[in-house]
């Protein structure tokens, strides 16, 4: 399922860059100045978008990239893991002017009781570098 979602996101990204023509700009960036908080796997996350490939069209920006994050989740097992853990995800972020909507994928590692799996989430955020002019 996640492979199909990934292929669909890449297809939409490529097609939008082809169809838009001269008005768009495709770039690679190390940092975008976007802070996002959201929900994934019965917990939360916060991130500042990291290295990405992005496409800009008028007031919109489409980004596909890495998401260095902090994940927040209460662990009920024994022994307990920390409430806050660093994590690297991948995902798609859409930005319109100041508002960002993100669909991240995070990997949960294999444990003694569960197999490893990818978890999909949803997040909302702000584009901070739009405030400085």
pLDDT at residue 9, as a whole number: 56
**Domain span including residue 46:** 2-130
pLDDT at residue 27, as a whole number: 84
pLDDT at residue 5, as a whole number: 62
- Our count of domains for the chain comes to 1
Q: Is 112 helix (H, G, I), strand (E, B) or coil?
A: coil
Nearest to 127 by CA among 76, 75, 70, 54: 54
For the stretch 15-63, pLDDT in tens is 555 554 446 778 888 878 899 999 998 899 999 888 999 999 988 999 9
The b-or-e profile of 35-66 (16+ CB within 10 A means b, else e) is: ebbbebeebbbebbbbebebbbeeeebbbbbe
pLDDT at residue 38, as a whole number: 96
37 and 46 Cβ atoms separated by less than 8 Å: yes
For the stretch 75-121, pLDDT in tens is 887 888 889 999 999 999 999 999 999 999 999 888 777 788 999 99
* 55 half-sphere exposure, CB direction, 13 A CA radius: 20
Q: Look at the block and give the residue holding tokens 């978890």.
A: 119
pLDDT bin (cut points 50, 70, 90) of residue 7 is low
105 and 123 Cβ atoms separated by less than 8 Å: no
Q: What is the pTM of this model?
A: 0.75
pLDDT at residue 110, as a whole number: 81
pLDDT at residue 10, as a whole number: 63
């Amino acid at each position: 399922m996640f492979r199909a979602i990934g292929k669909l996101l890449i297809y939409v990204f490529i097609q939008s860059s082809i169809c838009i023509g001269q008005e768009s700009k495709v770039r690679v960036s190390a940092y975008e100045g976007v802070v996002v908080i959201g929900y994934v796997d019965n917990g939360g996350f916060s991130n500042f978008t990291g290295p990405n490939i992005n496409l800009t069209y008028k007031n919109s920006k489409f980004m596909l990239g890495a998401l260095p994050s902090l994940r927040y989740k209460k662990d009920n097992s024994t022994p307990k893991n920390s409430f806050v853990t660093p994590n690297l995800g991948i995902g798609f972020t859409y930005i319109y002017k100041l508002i960002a909507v993100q669909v991240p994928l995070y990997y949960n590692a294999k444990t003694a009781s569960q197999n490893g799996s990818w978890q999909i989430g949803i997040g909302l955020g702000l584009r901070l570098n739009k405030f400085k002019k």
